[in-house]
Structure formats: C-alpha cells, structure tokens
Structure 1
Amino acid sequence: MLHEVLHAPEPTGADELELFGRLSGSWRLSWRGLGPDGTWSTAVGELHVGRVLGGRAVQDVWVVPGPGEPGAGVPPRAFHGTTVRFPDPQVPGTWRSTWMDPVNGRVRRFTGRPTGDGGVVLLSDDDRPWLRWRFTDVRADSFTWSAETSRDDGRTWVHDELMTARRVD
C-alpha cells in the first residue's frame, strides 16, 4: 500500500514541479569524489526520480556505488539515500529539500532555486560544513550534478563531487 499512497503519476501544480519533475525516471550515474587525502575516486551508480505525496513533491533515490558494484553500501564513500523536494508556498521560486543517507547517518536540509540557465542550485547553510549542490546542463537525457563544501561560511568553496547522469528509461 505504501507505493500507492506515496507515488503520484501526475503533478499537482505542474509548472512549479517541473524544476525537479523533469528529472522523473531512471538514470545511470558516473560519480567522482574527492577524498580526504586529495585524490579523486570514481564509481557508477543509479538514480530514480518520481512525483510523490499527491503530486506535490518530487522524491529521488541515489545509490552510489550501484548494486553489485565494488564498495556498494560501504561508508564513507558509498551513499544510498533519498531526497524529498517541494516548492515552498511561502517563498515563490524557492524549493525546500531534505537529503537523508542512512549509510552514513546524514540528514541535511537545503533551499533550492533555479539558476536562470535551466539549472538549479541548492544551499545547506544551517549546519557545518555548508554544502552547495548544483544541477547543470539539464537536458531530456542527461544532466550534471556537482557538490561543493565551505568550511568558512561561504567565503570559499571546495569542489568535491561530480556526477554525470544519463537517462536509462
């Protein structure tokens, strides 16, 4: 029954939901991440996105490395988490987003906004370090996701993750 009440085939407020709703479907991910020693690691994974909660939100599930891949489910490099995102009715053009990753015990809240060039930037500044996540080069069959970290309240940023996504459905 959960899937029947959680998933929604159609959006409520279609125009607002398209910022993330356009990503609905399944994706293959190529991930690069910067380790504490300054070296980059790589992995492949998957992403699944859909409308939920009566069509009022968009939920995604990220799995890196993907099932059966080396390092799958092994912290701290692996993540298997979900994000629920919805337009903030109090602040037009703004999204609320919460990321949960039980593999690493992380929960982060973000505020998201469109960038004007078809992308999205999300900022989490209510905990340390600050995180900035970006969706760029968004097309029907691909996009790029990147992550930056700031340990000085946004004065400087370190680019520490990059994923390219290719639609598989």
Structure 2
Amino acid sequence: MTISPFLTALGSEGPPADRAKDMNLYGWLIGSWEMDSVHYLHDGTIQKCNGECHFGWVLEGRAIQDVWIRPKRPAPSTMYGTTLRIFDPGIEGWHIIWSDPLNRDHSRQIGRAEGKDIVQLGNDSRGLKTRWRFTEITANSFRWIGEERSFESDPWQITYEHLARRTNLKLE
C-alpha cells in the first residue's frame, strides 16, 4: 500500500528537538493499543466490548493525533473518533480536540499532568463538563476514565473506562 501525500505530510517521525521535553506528557502513548472498554449508561446498564487505539506524531512533531475505535475492527464501529493534542507553552498545557463523527460528538479540553496522572478538563458537544483521565500509567498499559457532569456543583459521573495494553502493531 502506498502512503498518500496527505498522510506523508501529516505524519512525523517524532517531535522537533526544541519541543521534545514538552511532548513527554503524551509522547509515551505513541504506538498501538488494544483495550477492554466499559460504557456506563445513564439508565444504570453497562456495555462491555473491546477496542483499539493508535497514536502518532503529526504536524512536524508539534502535535500528537490518535484514533479510537470501538469495538475492535473488523466489527462495525459504535465509536470511531480522533483526538488532536497540541502543546501550548503559553498555558503550560495541552489543547485537546476530540471528534467522533459517527456519534456527532466533539469535545475541547485542556490537558495537564496531575501527580502521576494526566487530567483533561473541558466541555463536550452537549454542553456537559468533561474530565478525562489517564491513570495507572506504565510503559505498556494505562487506564482511561471518562467522566461528565452538568454543573460544577454536581459530582462526576463515570461514563467510560478503557483498560489499554500496548500491541506490536505499527502505524502505517
């Protein structure tokens, strides 16, 4: 398979030297992951399935982009979205832009380290407050927790959990 000029222009081998240190917060994610996913529905039911996610350097290494797919291909997708993560030295944080066209869902957040975790705070397309966290991070695994609430005074409600394990797949 020939890589298109668009994908060649988008993809990068890594961050530029002047940004390498700043890119460490998410740089460890580069590669492919398989995951066990749990979706907590508002009616109290729980849906479980598998999935996959792939992370790569983009925009001359100045950003990290990923693709999240649930369930794992080749099954028909219930979620197929992408995140663009861009470090902003002016805020010492990351602009996070998520879009899942399949579900007409999008979110904007700011991501930062919080202890050993990565915490992203923002709002989604429904106007809800969102908190997405990478926790229990190792070189080959992580737990991702998605939470939402309507108002600052409301408690966070977990909507998704993904337990991810690194695979040997390479992004092409």
Pairwise same-fold verdict (TM > 0.5): yes
Alpha-carbon distance between aligned partners in 1 of 2:105 and 2:159, rounded to the nearest angstrom:
17
CA-CA distance at 1:89 after TM superposition: 2.4
CA-CA distance at 1:7 after TM superposition: 0.6
Name the structure 2 match of 1:101: 100
Name the structure 2 match of 1:9: 13
Name the structure 2 match of 1:141: 140
* SS of residue in 1 equivalent to 2:102: coil
What stretches of structure 2 of length at least 5 have no aligned partner? none
Check the 8 A contact 1:65/1:79 in 2, yes or no.
yes
Q: Deviations over 1:33-60 (max 9, x none)?
A: 1113211110101000011000000000
Q: Which moved further from structure 2: 102-111 or 152-161? A: 152-161
Check the 8 A contact 2:149/2:156 in 1, yes or no.
yes
* SS of residue in 1 equivalent to 2:23: helix
Give the letter for the 1:124 counterpart.
G
Name the structure 2 match of 1:158: 157
Alpha-carbon distance between aligned partners in 1 of 2:159 and 2:166, rounded to the nearest angstrom:
23
Select 1:125's aligned residue among 117, 123, 126.
123
Q: How does 1:16-55 map to 2 (within 5 A)?
A: 16-55=22-61
Alpha-carbon distance between aligned partners in 1 of 2:22 and 2:154, rounded to the nearest angstrom:
31
Alpha-carbon distance between aligned partners in 2 of 1:125 and 1:82, rounded to the nearest angstrom:
16
Alpha-carbon distance between aligned partners in 1 of 2:12 and 2:6, rounded to the nearest angstrom:
11
Normalising by structure 2, we get a TM-score of 0.89
CA-CA distance at 1:154 after TM superposition: 5.1
Q: Percent identity?
A: 36
CA-CA distance at 1:126 after TM superposition: 7.0
Alpha-carbon distance between aligned partners in 2 of 1:5 and 1:68, rounded to the nearest angstrom:
27
- Over the residues paired in the alignment, what is the CA RMSD in angstroms? 1.3
Normalising by structure 1, we get a TM-score of 0.90
CA-CA distance at 1:155 after TM superposition: 3.3
Give the letter for the 1:85 counterpart.
R
* SS of residue in 1 equivalent to 2:22: helix
Alpha-carbon distance between aligned partners in 2 of 1:161 and 1:168, rounded to the nearest angstrom:
21
What stretches of structure 1 of length at least 5 have no aligned partner? none
Q: Deviations over 1:51-82 (max 9, x none)?
A: 1000000000000112133xx32xxxx21000
Give the paired residue count: 161
